[in-house]
A and B are shown apart, each in its own frame.
Chain A
């Protein structure tokens, strides 16, 4: 053996050992990684399983909701209107019925007198409108999309009176920034920002698909606007109150976003 070869061999051996140790080290690391990674993944999956996530996240989620509302209100335009696709069918009898009471809320004329829609709060001349009064006001009808928070949509022909027209009638005062829509469906109500309430497609609806509302769809009158998700559109309407502050709502108080804009 020449010294040169000796040193080559030694170098080769050293190299082999170094690689071996590296592989061993790597092997251990990998096992640790797999173990730690698997554990973390399992914990994440367990934590995620049909839960609402960590409680501590709640304030962050509420912050995000407030920021989203700011953005949505900045995006909002009275000129942005809903136009359902030309080919879209009316949902007709397939239009879902929804209320929070145990049974379909029906206005009991015998017990409560004739139904009247009360428009009040920060207005110069509060009024009470019967269904005949409503029908006598300037009539507006649109074929409109209904966007439900659940993800479905449905098209219906909505006929009624623009809330903006009623607001002019009662003389809303400048300090009114919010509107609360109350109902006789238990304690159901939802409050809105006044900008959405004054949208040209926000209607006090008393007819759907050309017929007076039936009990399942919110008779005698309901609020409807395509700029708000379904749950914001109070049915079985009793009062429209113009207010200086927001007053929450049935679903808004139960975790759904207050703004609920479309």
Chain B
């Protein structure tokens, strides 16, 4: 059974590469002025003004190199995101990815399960409530990154957009937040893939997935029930 359509698989990995390069080069650009304050002013809302990001986390080598990567890779990110969103809209996959009734209650149940305040894995469809939320917020944060990015790329030619976001300084701040959200969601996503559902990795490469090895079937929490449950394999007599 194919869990993910080839379009979803390809856009997933293109996105992984593009996003990594966008974040790395973006952090290198940020390091040229690791602060938000307009010269001669102070900035209220960032506690690490003038503290550079560790160079190891950056990409591009120097400001011009990072900018060249950033302004090239942005098109890959935008086109790829457009293909993905168009596809899941036209092909119906969006139904598994939008919040549905009871998403808050279901999310609370998932958190309770992960915190061992609940014994059994809540019932779910393709994704659990937390995944639905994450996979729904991810494209929104991506759109936020693109819109705020345009606003700080062209604050004069696209002045109305930059103004809408509160001006250049704030647009730059919101661009940074879009990156933080994308990075946080990605880190949690990768952690959960490896500690809860490593069987889903092939499903994002070849498309194959075995429902009898799903986290729900294994009653899996992070690091718990990683291996298939052997008693499930025994005959129900």
Give how many A residues have a beta carbon under 8 Å from the other chain's beta carbons.
65
Q: Flag whether A175 is at the interface (Cβ < 8 A).
A: no
Interface residues of A in 147-187 (CB under 8 A from B): 147-155
Interface residues of A in 22-43 (CB under 8 A from B): 22-23, 26, 29-30, 33-34, 37
A selection of 16 A-B contacts at a CB cut-off of 8 Å is A44-B20, A50-B55, A50-B59, A53-B60, A53-B61, A64-B72, A80-B156, A83-B159, A88-B41, A94-B39, A151-B30, A152-B33, A227-B157, A255-B65, A256-B64, A261-B154
Residues of B within 8 A of A (CB): 20-21, 24, 29-30, 32-33, 35, 38-41, 55-56, 58-65, 67-69, 71-72, 75, 154-159, 167-169, 172, 194, 198-199, 201-202, 205, 210, 212-213, 227-228, 233-235, 237
Q: Which of A70-78, A107-115, A212-220 contacts B (4 or more CB under 8 A)?
A: A70-78
Q: Flag whether A95 is at the interface (Cβ < 8 A).
A: yes
Find out whether the CB atom of B39 lies under 8 angstroms from the CB atom of A153. Answer: yes
**Docked CA distance A144–B187 (Å):** 41
The one of A15, A34, A72, A254 in contact with B235, judged by C-beta atoms closer than 8 angstroms, is A15
The one of B30, B33, B38 in contact with A155, judged by C-beta atoms closer than 8 angstroms, is B38
Residues of A within 8 A of B (CB): 8, 12, 15-16, 19-20, 22-23, 26, 29-30, 33-34, 37, 44, 48-53, 57, 60-61, 63-65, 67-68, 72, 75-77, 80-83, 85, 88-92, 94-96, 145, 147-155, 226-227, 251, 254-257, 261-262
Q: Collect the chain A residues with CB atoms within 8 Å of residue B59's CB.
A: 48, 50-51, 53
Find out whether the CB atom of A81 lies under 8 angstroms from the CB atom of B32. Answer: no
4 tightest A-B CB contacts, nearest first? A64-B72, A12-B235, A154-B39, A52-B61
Q: Collect the chain A residues with CB atoms within 8 Å of residue B21's CB.
A: 48, 53
Given A23-B228, A80-B157, A85-B167, is A52 in contact with B60 using a C-beta cutoff of 8 Å?
yes
Q: Collect the chain A residues with CB atoms within 8 Å of residue B155's CB.
A: 82, 145, 147, 262
Find out whether the CB atom of A95 lies under 8 angstroms from the CB atom of B199. Answer: no
The one of A15, A90, A149 in contact with B32, judged by C-beta atoms closer than 8 angstroms, is A149
